[in-house]
Structure 1
Amino acid sequence: MQFNFDSTEPLYLQVADQLEEAIFLNSFQEGEQVPSTTEISKQFHINPATVLKGMNILVDSGFLEKKRGLGMFVTTGANDKIRTKRQDEFYADFVSNLVSEAKKLSLPETAIIEMVKRGFERS
C-alpha cells in the first residue's frame, strides 16, 4: 500500500480504495484475514481511526466482514461484487460519456463499435 499524504483524497478513502484493489487482484482471497487497523496504522503512520473508517466502507459495501475478536475478513463473493461495482462505474464514467459525445458528433453506433474494435486490436 502507498498513501499520498498530499492528495486531496482523504486517507480513509485511500485505505478503502487500496484494500478494495488488493481484494480485486486476489492479494487477499475470499475468507482470508486482512491486516488489522493497528498493523496498517503502525506500518504507514496513519491514525487507527482513519484506517478503521476506510475499512468500514468495505464492510458497508459487503467486501469485508468483522469477526468479533478476530479481525476483518474478505467476504465470500467479494471479488465478484467488486467486479460488478467497477463495471457499473465504467459504464457511468466512460460508456455513457462516450455515447453522449458520439451523438453530438453524429457518429452512428456502428462507427463507435468499429473504433472500440480498433482500440482492442492496437492494445
Structure 2
Amino acid sequence: MRRGFDETKPIYLQVKERIEDQIISGQLKEGDRIPSTTQLVQFYKINHLTVSKAVHLMVEEGNIFKKRGVGMFVAEGAQEKLLRRRRDQFVDRYLLPMIREAERLGMTEEDVIRLIRSQKERDQE
C-alpha cells in the first residue's frame, strides 16, 4: 500500500488525519502554509482527487483556508479545535469501552489505573 496507508479506512481520511497530526503536534502552526495538493499527490503517490477530497474536508471544517493563487494555510485556532475533537473521539472510542469492559470484569478504578501505569512503565523500558 502507498506510504503505509491502512486498508480499513479511506485514504483521503488518512491523508486528512496526517495533516491534522502535524497541526496537533505543532509541526504546522497557525498561519503556516501546508503542502500543495500537487506536493501531497507526489509524496503519497495517490490520485489528485483523493488529496483534493481530504483538503476540501479540512477547509469545510475550518482547519485550513485557501488563498487563491497563493496556497493553503493552517487556520487560526485549528490546533485547539483538533485537540478538542481528538480528545472527544478518544473518550468515545477507547475510554468508554474500556470502562464498560472493566466494570464487566469487576475491576475497580484503582485496578485500571494500576494496569495503565504498569503498561506505561513497560513501554518506557
TM-score for the superposition, normalised by structure 1: 0.81
Distance, in Å, in 2 between the alignment partners of 1:102 and 1:111 is 9
Following TM superposition, where does structure 1 have runs of at least 4 consecutive aligned residues deviating by more than 4 angstroms?
117-123
Residues 33 and 74 of structure 2 are in contact (CA less than 8 Å); yes or no, is this contact kept in structure 1?
yes
Of all paired residues, the percent bearing the same amino acid is 36
Distance, in Å, in 2 between the alignment partners of 1:75 and 1:92 is 26
Offset from partner CA, 1:51-96 (integer Å, 9 cap, x none): 1101122222221112222221101111111211111111111110
Q: State the shift of 1:6 in Å.
A: 7.3
RMSD: 2.2
* Match of residue 57 from structure 1: 57
Residues 3 and 14 of structure 1 are in contact (CA less than 8 Å); yes or no, is this contact kept in structure 2?
no
The count of residues paired between Structure 1 and Structure 2 equals 122
Residues 5 and 14 of structure 2 are in contact (CA less than 8 Å); yes or no, is this contact kept in structure 1?
no
* Match of residue 113 from structure 1: 113
Which of 89-98 and 42-51 deviates more? 42-51
Offset from partner CA, 1:11-61 (integer Å, 9 cap, x none): 212211111111112221110110111222133332222111011222222
Q: Is structure 2 residue 48 aligned with structure 1 residue 25? A: no
Unaligned 5+ segments in structure 2 are none
TM-score for the superposition, normalised by structure 2: 0.80
Unaligned 5+ segments in structure 1 are none
